[in-house]
Amino acid sequence: MEKRFYINTIGCQMNVHDSERIHALMQGCGYRPTPFPEDADLIFLNTCAIREKAEQKAYSFLGRLAAMKDQNPNLIIAVGGCVAQQDADRILERMAHVDLVLGTRAYGRLPGIIEKVSREKRRIVDVDAGETPEEKETFFSQEPVKADLGVSRFVTIMQGCDNFCAYCVVPFVRGRERSRNPEEILSEIRDLVEKGVREVTLLGQNVNSYGKKEGICSFSELLARINSIDNLYRIRFTTSHPKDLSDDLAETFGRLDKLCRHIHLPVQSGSDRILKRMNRRYTRVHYMDRIQALRSACPEIAVTTDIIVGFPGETEGDFQETLDLIETVQFDSLFAFKYSDRKGTRAAELTGKVPEKIKAQRLKTLFGLQRVLTLEKNRALVGTFQEILVDGPSKKEKKQSGTTDPGFAQWTGRTSGNKIVNFNVKKDALFNHRIHSGAQVRVYVQQAFANSLSGEIPA
């Protein structure tokens, strides 16, 4: 009987992306996917180590699998991703039912490992940092498997990170920065476009330094080349590091028609003292200068950010500076996290740890402020026309409840600035307006909410 596998993915898009290729490799090993862990012969957990919560999630999922393994001793339990890379021994020690531990660069060896584990029935650990070109090829040549490709896809352009921000585990679990060859990236995107994808988000921990080490093309050159792919409508990228954001890259926002008017530029803190302790290697003034450069190249650009509250040594005064920066920049939206100690990082050794309760209070204050700012930004779009890339029918529509007026259908998509817009369109006009997933339509914005906008396509 054919064997079945189940994958559970925790963490960022890098992991989602890896899981899609692991999926393809598993199929190559004669397994087929099942949506139910209880039906699986192999369960693969792809883990994230960025904050303690993510790590706990992994251990609690693994904990729940123990009983399943008791009932079915032939079940193979595999753990991959960033926790596996960092904590293989701990996983093996704490989780006696785990058979396989694979680091973030072992996936190219997966077929051999799967065969070995089924044959030899013993625990295997592979967290080697090395990857031969053939192993890399084995992994990257896999066509990512996803039931429905959808309109928008992530494309990895680089892996790893060399920045060593004091709080961050990524350089330890993903290794040194390496860029993919531009030809490979372009051909992956062309292929996606042929399958109906209309928007790509280029992924890397620090995309500004794309190609620098390898001396291949620069990031702005790569963007220009992607911009010329026919039938691709939109390009996004994430993440940029403020220290490396060049004027040239800022100016591409005014230059390339497919590049979305949105940048995610994590600031982490508004206090120079904390930025220094974080090893971010820029100051508040530099950050503001980069925002200025972006806005002068492209006045309507939406800016979002990441913030960490309660970094070791953060005083009330430092936190006020962060709030002040948020007000000054007027971000469109942001992600904020309570600082979480990560083993092996420099920040874990720092004194001045901030109590949980204070971190929680600061997070709450910060979100309170941002909620108001986001709403203001969203309200500013009421009464304008926005070009929307259509994702598909809205959630409400899918649930069959639809709009209050049965003559209308509700669809959803995003603006160039990455804001979600739900819009109504007369059912009998759907065809005339050529509305379908992947279409670009002009929507009149009527209402603003905290996390979305709503509008209509005038008849």
Least CB distance from residue 361 to ligand SAH, whole Å?
A: 16
Q: CB of 196: closest distance to ligand F3S in angstroms?
A: 27
Q: Which is nearer to ligand SF4, 45 or 168 (CB)?
A: 168
Residue at token pair 């700012």: 373
CB of 306 to ligand SAH, least distance (A): 3
Binding of residue 168 to ligand SAH (CB under 6 A): yes
Q: Which is nearer to ligand SAH, 168 or 192 (CB)?
A: 168
Query: Cis omega before residue 239 (within 30°)?
Result: yes
Residue 242 or 413: the one with the smaller Cβ distance to ligand SAH is: 242
- To ligand SF4, the closest distance from the beta carbon of 103 in angstroms equals 17
**Using CA atoms, how far apart are residues 320 and 188, in angstroms rounded to an integer?**
45
Q: Does 268 bind ligand SAH (CB under 6 A)?
A: yes
Residue 107 contact among ligand SF4, ligand SAH, ligand F3S, none, beta carbon within 5 to 8 Å by kind: none
181 DSSP 8-state letter: P
Element spanning 423, H or E: strand 420-426
Measured distance CA(87)–CA(127) in Å, rounded: 10
Residue 50 touching ligand SAH (CB under 6 A): yes
- Helices of type H across 29-162: 52-71, 81-94, 110-120, 133-140
> Can residue 340 be called a binding residue for ligand SAH (CB under 6 A)?
yes
Q: Which is nearer to ligand F3S, 203 or 443 (CB)?
A: 203
**Complex with ligand F3S: residue 49 or 226, whichever CB lies closer:** 49
With CB under 5 to 8 Å by kind, the binding choice for 49 among ligand F3S, ligand SF4, ligand SAH, none is ligand F3S
Measured distance CA(436)–CA(389) in Å, rounded? 10
Q: State in Å, rounded, how far the first CA of the chain is from the last one.
A: 56
Comparing CB distances to ligand SAH, the nearer of 40 and 207 is 207
Q: Which stretch binds ligand SAH (CB under 6 A): 194-202, 207-215, 333-341, 373-381?
A: 333-341
Stretch that binds ligand SAH, among 58-66, 90-98, 338-346, 398-406 (CB under 6 A): 338-346
- Residue number, 32 or 53, with CB nearest to ligand SAH: 53
CA dist 151 and 149 (Å) reads 7
Look at residue 171 and give the partner it binds from ligand F3S, ligand SAH, ligand SF4, none, a contact being a CB closer than 5 to 8 Å depending on partner kind.
Answer: ligand SF4
- Report the candidate in 408, 388, 411 with the shortest Cα–Cα distance to residue 398: 411
Residue 158 C-beta: closest distance to ligand SAH, Å: 11
Coil, strand or helix at 81:
helix
Give the nearer residue to ligand F3S in terms of CB position, either 7 or 50. Answer: 50
What three-state secondary structure class fits 159? strand
- Write out the DSSP string of 15-63: HHHHHHHHHHHHHHTTEEE-S-GGG-SEEEEEE--SSHHHHHHHHHHHH
Q: Give min distance, CB of 143 to ligand F3S, in A.
A: 22
Smallest separation (angstroms) from ligand SAH to the CB of 409: 37
Q: Which residues of 219-229 are buried (b: 16+ CB within 10 A; e: fewer)?
A: bbebbeebeeb
Specify the stretch interacting with ligand SAH by CB under 6 A; choose among 187-195, 250-258, 319-327, 334-342: 334-342
- State the nearest-atom distance from the C-beta of 230 to ligand F3S, in Å: 32
Residues near ligand F3S (CB under 6 A): 11-12, 14-15, 48-50, 81-82, 169-170, 173-174
What amino acid is encoded at 285 in this protein?
Answer: V
Given 205, 416, 437, 454, the residue binding ligand SAH (CB under 6 A): 205
Which amino acid is located at 248 in the chain?
A: D
Of 220, 204, 213, 311, nearest to 264 by C-alpha is 204
Give residues in contact with ligand SF4 (CB under 6 A).
161, 163-165, 168, 170-171, 205-206, 241
Residue 345: CB atoms within 10 Å: 19
Least CB distance from residue 100 to ligand SAH, whole Å? 26
How far apart CA 179 and CA 154 sit, in angstroms, is: 15
Question: What ranges in 195-331 are assigned the alpha helix state H?
Answer: 219-227, 247-255, 272-277, 284-297, 316-329
Binding partner selected for residue 48 from ligand F3S, ligand SAH, ligand SF4, none, CB under the kind-specific 5 to 8 Å limit: ligand F3S
Shortest distance, CB of residue 259 to ligand F3S, whole angstroms?
A: 24
Residue 161 C-beta: closest distance to ligand F3S, Å:
8
CA dihedral 110, 114, 116, 122 (to 10 degrees): 110
Residues of the shown chain interacting with ligand SAH in the complex, contacts defined by CB under 6 A: 50-51, 167-168, 170, 205, 239, 241, 266, 268, 306, 308, 337, 339-340, 342
